[in-house]
Structure 1
């Protein structure tokens, strides 16, 4: 079986990293894989093969005949049994390339968020309806993501299933977080509005009133990073907040943390929570998207969105005394249900639903 994996660009974001990890596991299972990026990018992703770029321009993504044609040429050369579009603009390029240039491979879309949160106009709804009407199957990252998708596009009923994100089984030595006398709170995620860094700073300010010896570590990069750096200075928190940008070893930061926090306002199923559970680091998160499918009173602390005072109190509680029962329950859940080796088998079963495997 041949699978063409379409990603937005080589960037250190969950969708692209997971797609490349999945691709490596698919190759171990004997599948042929080609990864294609819509846009150029500089990141080194966990994929040992060549990543072909369409070199498309986001300015013309709604009418990029040249890019659609280039993708069609790659597909006709590689002859995939399935084209998997993985978040971002990948679905646009897959659907329009197939529509205008007539290749036959079925399209599987990996739905990694809650698409309804981004449909703010009639045009967007109609446009996305056209895209999804040309999809053969959808793999949603969580039950919440699947429910949201079917709620907006009921015609997808019977063409979707839930396949969660997975993580890699690897050992990471913790980094040395400073100051050594502080309790360490870690957040890992791109600086985008979905991750709610401003809300996180407000929570941290509340937390400091209750627990003085704490330090916040922000791991990740993104378009809002400079804005958040300015906000930290405005709030007088420079001595208590550290920025690291992108790091190759986020699990090492998570493992060194006393607690991982995720006050996102939009999520599908964030891999960073699973990584924290694998590292046996306590988790405090907002109840958005599919987070409640992995974080509950047995595995972590779940707070309703925008309850910043409650969030800060939950972090204090976690810092004062780690709940070993929750930590062990969360670890066992991840090891048994969310490792990429097993997730890859779920994707293979999905491919077989829309195309018979060639012998």
Structure 2
């Protein structure tokens, strides 16, 4: 049987939500039916390359120092498609999408685009190019209904737009009793640990996250925090961390490829985000039985039903997160209930297997048309 050759195009393969999905989905894809290729452009953001290659993907870096140079790699991308007889292109995030649409127009190869963010949150220039070029592709996929609605309202495209919810590998992300992180960080066994895994960007509001932890800590001496990640706002976040006197309370281990052991150290996964698509880290935390306390930003409200799968508040009411955490700190049985509820929710509705099955149907439909 001739395999369907799919080329994923993405700006970088660092540790972001969209990037991390690629190796996880590749592990579950039917390799007898599909062959997967990956092109990225920022060689210094390559944390996912090893995982992709281990899972059987073919990875190529077409180096580009900025977005304009990225677009100028369209000729090499076309050559790659011809050399490897690519049947279908699947792009992620705007600049890879712009390049992919150009390639689609030049070659006629079907192209899918997954949108991971709300249109309202993009830079005006990015929004404008997105709107102008959006119809030069075969299909758009929104990672949440909010994201899909944002595409339809802001772009009003002529091409089909569907929602394909992000998923998590619930087999891989299962809690065990082998976490060594608490011991390594010197966190007491009986402590309540609140954490987050995020790129240090403004929409994550990690300065506010630290303020919430500081308030919780004023009432509870046995509460600790962990934020795994790095990013452009690292300087500001570390300044708040020091100014708040949280150096021995909240731990910042930096960017990590394997975050499973950190999820195992957490009791509560807390998000202060001002906006989101559908965060992969949230689904991973839920699969690892972390109770969720969060703002109801973007796709989060499609995942967490308040007081059923976790506890949420409005984006502008982020200061209430300390009170929501306190509810779980004061009631160990309720904390256990929400830990179980989180995993049950992703098992039922956000399994990566379900997502991959739907993707393979979409891929097959386009190639066999």
**What TM-score do you get using the length of structure 2 for normalisation?**
0.88
| Deviations 1:291-313 (CA, angstroms, capped at 9, x unpaired) | 01111121001111131331110
Distance 1:275 1:29 in 2: 28
Distance 2:258 2:6 in 1: 29
1:153 aligns with 2:158: no
In the alignment, structure 1 segments of 5+ residues that lack a partner are none
1:50 aligns with 2:53: no
| Deviations 1:53-100 (CA, angstroms, capped at 9, x unpaired) | 1112215247x43x111111111122222100012521122123344x
Distance 1:104 1:345 in 2: 25
**Equivalence for 1:13:** 16
Could you say if the C-alpha distance between residues 29 and 311 of structure 1 is closer, same or farther in structure 2, counting changes exceeding 3 Å? farther
**Equivalence for 2:311:** 301
Moved over 6 A (4+): none
Pick the aligned partner of 2:338 from 326, 330, 338.
326
Return the offset for 1:50.
3.1
**Equivalence for 2:109:** 105
Give yes or no for contact 2:36–2:58 (8 Å, CA) kept in 1.
no
How many residues get paired? Answer: 350
Distance 1:351 1:185 in 2: 40
3-state SS of 2:273 partner: coil
**Equivalence for 2:236:** 227
3-state SS of 1:19 partner: helix
Return the offset for 1:351.
2.3
Distance 1:352 1:188 in 2: 34
Return the offset for 1:198.
1.0
3-state SS of 2:86 partner: coil
1:339 aligns with 2:351: yes
| Deviations 1:185-206 (CA, angstroms, capped at 9, x unpaired) | 1111111112111111121222
Could you say if the C-alpha distance between residues 291 and 25 of structure 1 is closer, same or farther in structure 2, counting changes exceeding 3 Å? same
Distance 1:214 1:8 in 2: 38
In the alignment, structure 2 segments of 5+ residues that lack a partner are none
Pick the aligned partner of 1:3 from 3, 6, 16.
6
Could you say if the C-alpha distance between residues 227 and 6 of structure 1 is closer, same or farther in structure 2, counting changes exceeding 3 Å? same
Give yes or no for contact 2:181–2:261 (8 Å, CA) kept in 1.
no
RMSD of Structure 2 on Structure 1 (CA): 2.0
Could you say if the C-alpha distance between residues 309 and 192 of structure 1 is closer, same or farther in structure 2, counting changes exceeding 3 Å? closer
Could you say if the C-alpha distance between residues 27 and 38 of structure 1 is closer, same or farther in structure 2, counting changes exceeding 3 Å? farther
Distance 1:309 1:340 in 2: 33
Distance 1:292 1:307 in 2: 15
Give yes or no for contact 1:206–1:309 (8 Å, CA) kept in 2.
no
**Equivalence for 2:146:** 144
Return the offset for 1:29.
5.5
Task: Return 296-305 or 336-345, whichever deviates more.
Answer: 336-345
1:286 aligns with 2:295: yes
Give yes or no for contact 2:47–2:257 (8 Å, CA) kept in 1.
no
Give yes or no for contact 2:200–2:232 (8 Å, CA) kept in 1.
yes
**Equivalence for 1:271:** 280
| Deviations 1:11-44 (CA, angstroms, capped at 9, x unpaired) | 1111111022223322436201111112223314
Distance 2:282 2:270 in 1: 9
Pick the aligned partner of 1:176 from 152, 170, 181.
181
| Deviations 1:327-351 (CA, angstroms, capped at 9, x unpaired) | 3333222123322222111111222
Task: Return 164-173 or 252-261, whichever deviates more.
Answer: 164-173
Pick the aligned partner of 1:116 from 112, 117, 120.
120
Return the offset for 1:243.
0.7
Give yes or no for contact 2:120–2:150 (8 Å, CA) kept in 1.
yes
Give yes or no for contact 1:38–1:90 (8 Å, CA) kept in 2.
no
3-state SS of 2:225 partner: strand
Give yes or no for contact 1:82–1:355 (8 Å, CA) kept in 2.
yes
Give yes or no for contact 2:146–2:298 (8 Å, CA) kept in 1.
yes
Return the offset for 1:326.
3.4
**Equivalence for 1:35:** 38
